[in-house]
Amino acid sequence: MTASIPGRLHPVDLARVAAVGLRTRRTRAALSALGIAIGVAAMVAVLGLSASSQAGLLAEIDKLGTNLLTVAPGQSLTGQDARLPLQAPGMIGRIPAVEAVQSTGDTKVNAFRSPLIPGLQTNGLTVNAASLDLPAAVRTTVAEGRYLNAATATQPVAVLGSAAARRLGIARVHPGMRIWVGGQWFYVSGILSPAALSPEIDSSVLVGYPAARRYLDFDGHPSMIYVRARTGHVEEVHGLLGATANPRNAGEVRVSQPSAALVARAAAESALNGLFLGLGAVALLVGGIGVANTMVISVLERRSEIGLRRALGATRGGIRLQFLSEAVLLAALGGAAGVALGVAATVVYASVKGWATIVPMLAWGGGLGAAVVIGGVAGLLPALRAARMPPTEALRTA
């Protein structure tokens, strides 16, 4: 405190006076600012992690391609399961804007690690006939061993999806490895990496079409057709696939775009952010109550200072502005600490996940702004109380 205090303080002097009040009660100020920091950190982290995860997902979708379409049988008018014609993949391949067509067909048999396993313990696995260029069409690779070729597609040889291999307890492929498929042994030639756009392949045991017909009594009808369209012609191809795959009953064909499902999943995840933002807002509100409590106690403890300043010429407005500035400064410091914590959490988690770190301006700017507003609201009542205190009463009660 100076010997002479003007009625109105310069903004720099006002900030200095507000900071003095916080420095003299550091522990209390730190605890009050902690509530603000936790609320702001939660809000920044939620928005930052959401933006980073969506960016990572969209980058993954761009890498996998948004031009993959799938064709599957729907239902007939009587409600029965429809079937795709045997010629459906070939007919789709004649569409000018189609780059690649691959397919799988459900053989209706089960696969087990050995014939000693009970038939009811299927582990959710399906055995599908698969075309030879399927991995390239769905943008996956062979993690272990080799995929089917023209020779092995005619023999009792199987390739496992990533989830199928895990459920069967197979981590590596070695010569002579066999599994029990449809009542007979099939040799395992490879394991696929996860297929992000086609998760049904992950839980599949894949065999060649000729082998499926020969050993598993497969009828040859495809149950899923994977179509890669030229970029920029996806919607055009999408509109033609139903009638092309089944000209007689186009309504019995289901056409979908797997990447659209991933985008929808990202939107659903962002919708959940409202819940976490609400929790952050609650923490911010609790922090604001802490600031208000700190400022009320500060006014009671500093009555002598208030009385002396009023006696030396400080106006009620100056006193009010001093304590209001102190509350705003306290909340702003907590908000800045919360922004730093939220950004740090986003950077660490995004780095672990391999995402690009994105913290929207709305996250840190809005968090800091919310902290300042909370501080102003929380400090308004204590500031008014301090301004209404007569100098004689303040000095006498002090």
Torsion of CA 251, 252, 253, 254, to 10 degrees: 90
CB atoms near residue 41 (< 10 Å) = 26
What's the confidence (pLDDT) of residue 271? 55
pLDDT above 60 (res 5): no
**Between 357 and 72, the higher pLDDT residue:** 72
**Between 254 and 353, the higher pLDDT residue:** 254
Distance between start and end Cα atoms, the chain: 17
Helix/strand/coil for 108:
coil
| Confidence band for 3, pLDDT divided at 50, 70 and 90 | very low
DSSP H helical ranges for 191-272? 199-202, 209-216, 234-245, 258-271
Residue entry with tokens 């009010």: 320
Q: Give the percent of the chain with pLDDT over 70.
A: 88
pTM listed for this prediction: 0.61
What's the confidence (pLDDT) of residue 366? 83
Q: Check residue 251 and report its DSSP letter.
A: G
What's the confidence (pLDDT) of residue 284? 78
CB 290 within 8 A of CB 32: yes
CB 101 within 8 A of CB 227: yes
Query: From residue 8, how far is each of 143, 217, 307, 315, 321 by CA, in Å?
Result: 74, 94, 16, 7, 10
Tokens representing residue 98 in the block: 């189609």
pLDDT tens for 48-94 read 887 787 777 767 766 767 788 999 998 877 778 889 999 999 999 99
Residue 326, burial from CB neighbour count under 10 angstroms (0-12, 13-18, 19+): buried
| Confidence band for 47, pLDDT divided at 50, 70 and 90 | confident
